[in-house]
């Protein structure tokens, strides 16, 4: 009964407060290693993935499977997580910053079979807008990992779009934040190297 009452009360709070409560709830589950689902695929993933593998999580939601895949592929592997819904992506980013490994690339995009360059550019520019919103909604004191990952992702998108000056700025912002746990400092340094800049 208390749980139902608490959920009803929380649903009436402002969106920002709801998101903060959800982030705290998921943080506890990640710390306790209870951030999981009861779906049968959860256990089967261990048969499909090994250390060093790459995995794609399409419709990553808040990151249950992204974390599972990240743990299974380890430091030598990579997980690409797609989540198109901005509010859900914000939670995914907060959760991924707490994963044991920094091997998850977050994309605030829907996966698609579209190959039209204009469609791709439009979607990538929309993703840039979502990352900018994530940075604007983050606190520099408490959300450094989220900000680091968002700036680095914007750098990669701008690099892909051949906006090299913007890519350099985003990589610099990531580097300025520093090598924080769950951040993307090393990836930003590599991005700068791809630009031919130290």
Q: Domain residues of the chain, as ranges? A: 1-109, 112-198
Rounded Cα–Cα distance for residues 72 and 49 (Å): 6
Homologous superfamily (CATH) of 1-109 is Vaccinia Virus protein VP39 (3.40.50.150)
pLDDT at 1: 52
pLDDT at 16: 85
pLDDT at 114: 63
pLDDT at 173: 95
Q: Over the stretch 157-187, which tens digit does the pLDDT of each residue have?
A: 998 888 999 999 999 999 999 999 888 898 8
Rounded Cα–Cα distance for residues 185 and 148 (Å): 7
With a cut of 70, list the residues of the chain below it in pLDDT.
1-3, 113-115, 198
């Amino acid at each position: 009964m208390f749980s139902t009452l608490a959920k009803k009360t929380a649903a009436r709070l402002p969106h920002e407060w709801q998101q903060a409560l959800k982030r705290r709830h998921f943080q506890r589950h990640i710390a306790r290693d209870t951030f999981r689902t009861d779906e049968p695929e959860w256990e089967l993933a261990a048969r499909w993935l090994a250390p060093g593998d790459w995995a794609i999580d399409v419709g990553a939601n808040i990151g249950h499977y992204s974390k599972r895949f990240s743990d299974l592929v380890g430091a030598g592997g990579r997980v690409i997580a797609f989540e198109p819904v901005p509010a859900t992506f914000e939670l995914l980013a907060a959760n991924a910053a707490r994963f044991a490994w920094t091997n998850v690339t977050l994309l605030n995009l829907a996966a698609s079979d579209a190959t039209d360059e204009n469609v791709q550019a439009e979607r990538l520019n929309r993703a840039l807008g979502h990352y900018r919103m994530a940075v604007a909604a983050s606190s520099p004191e408490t959300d450094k990992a989220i900000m680091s990952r968002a700036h680095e992702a914007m750098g990669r998108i701008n690099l892909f779009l051949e906006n090299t000056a913007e890519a350099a700025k985003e990589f610099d912002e990531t580097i300025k934040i520093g090598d924080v746990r769950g951040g993307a400092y090393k990836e930003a340094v590599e991005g700068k190297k791809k630009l031919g800049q130290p």
